[in-house]
Amino acid sequence: MPLPVVFLSIIFLNHSFAGAETAPVSLDDCFQAMESFVPAAPAAKPAVNSSPPPAGASQLDFSLPVFGRSERVALNDFKGEIVVLDFFAHWCEPCRKASPQIEEGIAHHYAGRGGNRSGIPVHVLGINVVDSAPEATARFVEETGLERVLDDPGGKVLELYKGSGLPLVVVVDLTGEVPRIAYESMGFKGVEALRTTIDAISNGASGCSSCLPAGAIATGASGGVATHDVSVGASVLASSDISLVDSSLEYKMRHLGTRITLSLQHGYTDLDFPGFPKNIVSPGPLKESHRKEHRFGAQATARFSVAPSLALTVGGGGGTGFADYRSLWIDEFYHQLDKSLIKYVDDNFPSPPGPRSSNYQDPDPWSANTSADLRWEYLPSCGFLTLSANYSASGGTPSYLEGDLIGGFKVENKVFYTPGAGVSLENILTKRLRSQLDAQVQKTTDREVRTSFKGSFNYALLDHLVCRTEFSYAHEDPGFDGWSAGAVLEKDWSNRWFLSLAARYYEDTGEILDTVPENASPPAVQTYQGALALRWQGASNSLKASVGPYFNRYLEEPSDPRRFLKLYEDRDWIYANLAYVHVF
């Protein structure tokens, strides 16, 4: 038995996990989405400073501490100059693209030229709007190359400049009597757009965003440091008759608008087939047996920025081995049934037609997939539309059809192809509310079209308390309907420890499968799932562990209860997961 089983099965012995293939979304999906979402700053008071601004200043002025230090910097300190404000958060992917270009294309550009075309000094101030996770912010600052960073606790200055999304880029002209905004953009429109405004400022006369050339884009200025993530994880589900282990190794590289992900997966299924007495499913008995199977997979994706508001992701992968323990159980059933029929015929029909050869075929399951999606940022930092297409194929698992006693059952070998398409809409509705809606259409060989819909909402209840809800629905003729609903509540303690509590319910009317006989399809089922997760987040390392119960209740007996009643019996299970991530 592999090491992960030995490590965790001691804790989870005498429990099992089944039916996961019927549920379209796992709790791990919920946790992953939770970890990728950090609430925006809460609503702030109109004034930034606790005391009135000094004489000659405007309501645009502010005074903020330098990131990681006690000294403060005020906007009015740059009187007679030009300041570019780059509002960011460590979790903001568009910020990760914008900040290094602003630092390189604006701060370094004008520092090397002694100011703008009129000789007015130009400064860039990065403003961090997240008052938690300082290690993550420090990593963001290092990766993007920002040299001057201020802290905006609670997002007060962001509120002052009426920012509702990130990144927010503001050019403030301080050459006149009163500071004024020369340019403001929710979302990064490119370095050239900023330079056009900055170079137009002279002796207190500033440009404006309406003067920008249409379609202005970044010059491609490079900056920032590539980051690399390596993560390993394992999940274990074990019982007296079934043990499941899934492990993964994943590598991610991120640099500006490019992200590359490579992952390797390994699965291990260990099950005890119960056997059957004679005259139940065969004239002879089916022996008890033990089956061990491995599965391996690999996946790769690459995401590129093809335009300021467009990102293309392409990917593909494949694997070998049974996708789930249910298929393995059914394969072993027909393996033992074939042996039983051969022995019965040989023992009871010694005369011609003589010994019958085996009809069972050794399986060699495999799968392959490819996908592409195009993500459009139609509202800067607040609205995203994604169009996706995918194609997959699987085969190598024989299907067994009923036959006669002498000839045995019939065998079919098919390759199943599944093209699909989808659309996803993601929006930041308010500073505390984020939504995502997905619709998918798929068509598998010999099956009808399956349509599915999934929605999720992230809501920041408090500064350090976030709730994520999700729901889904799927339909396929003839007569398959499935739906689920779930919620995750996560609490942040000390900016390092995160505690999550999750619950989920799933129900369907009975799966439709053509890779096995119709009477092997699972009946209608209800599942209840819960989990408690603890995550530690350091500067370069994170560790997450989760554990929880899983209950399934079949609403009817399988169509052939003699054969599959033991497979589709109600079970109470426990699920556990352990994952580690290192960033370098």
> Looking at residue 236, which CATH number applies to its domain?
2.40.160.40
Asked if 173 and 201 touch (Cβ cutoff 8 Å), the reply is yes
User: Residue-wise pLDDT tens for the chain (584 aa)?
Assistant: 343 333 333 333 333 333 333 333 345 444 443 343 333 333 333 333 333 343 334 578 899 999 988 889 999 899 999 999 999 988 887 888 889 889 988 998 888 888 898 889 999 999 999 877 788 888 889 888 899 999 997 788 988 888 777 889 999 999 888 888 999 888 787 888 888 899 888 865 444 333 323 222 233 333 456 678 899 999 988 888 888 999 999 999 877 668 899 999 999 999 999 999 998 888 999 999 999 999 999 999 999 888 878 899 999 999 999 989 999 999 999 999 999 988 888 888 766 555 567 889 999 999 999 999 999 988 766 789 999 999 999 999 998 887 767 777 888 899 999 999 999 999 878 767 889 999 999 999 988 999 999 999 988 787 678 899 999 999 999 889 999 999 999 987 766 788 999 999 999 998 765 444 446 778 899 999 999 999 887 767 889 999 999 888 988 887 777 888 888 888 888 899 999 988 77
Residue 48 inside a domain? The answer is: no
Residue 220 inside a domain? The answer is: no
Does 286 share its domain with 370? Answer: yes
Does 176 share its domain with 316? Answer: no
Question: Residues 166, 168, 171, CA angle at the centre, nearest 5°?
Answer: 170
Q: How many domains does the chain have?
A: 2
Q: How far apart are CA 555 and CA 503, in angstroms?
A: 21
Residue 163 inside a domain? The answer is: yes
Q: How far apart are CA 208 and CA 214, in angstroms?
A: 13
Residue 318 inside a domain? The answer is: yes
Q: For residue 512, give the nearest of 539, 551, 463, 479 by alpha carbon.
A: 479
Q: How far apart are CA 172 and CA 223, in angstroms?
A: 23
> Looking at residue 76, which CATH number applies to its domain?
3.40.30.10
Q: For residue 532, give the nearest of 498, 493, 484, 506 by alpha carbon.
A: 498
**What is the per-residue DSSP string for 260-300?**
EEEEEEEEEEEEEE--B-TTTSSSSPBPPEEEEEEEEEEEE
Domain range for 337 is 3-36+228-583
Beta strands in 75-160 (DSSP E): 82-88, 122-128, 149-151
Q: Is 139 helix (H, G, I), strand (E, B) or coil?
A: helix
Q: How far from 178 is each of 87, 185, 367, CA to CA, in Å?
A: 22, 21, 66
How distant is the alpha carbon of residue 350 from its chain centre?
A: 60
Residue with tokens 């609503």: 43
Q: How far apart are CA 234 and CA 579, in angstroms?
A: 6
Q: With left for phi above 0 and alpha for psi between -120 and 50, is residue 256 left, alpha or beta?
A: left
Residue 56 inside a domain? The answer is: no
b (16+ CB within 10 A) / e for 344-380: bbeeeeeeeeeebeebbbebebbbebebebebebeeb
Does 443 share its domain with 565? Answer: yes
Q: Going by C-beta distance under 8 Å and a sequence separation of 6 or more, which residues neighbour residue 318? A: 297, 298, 366, 367, 368, 369
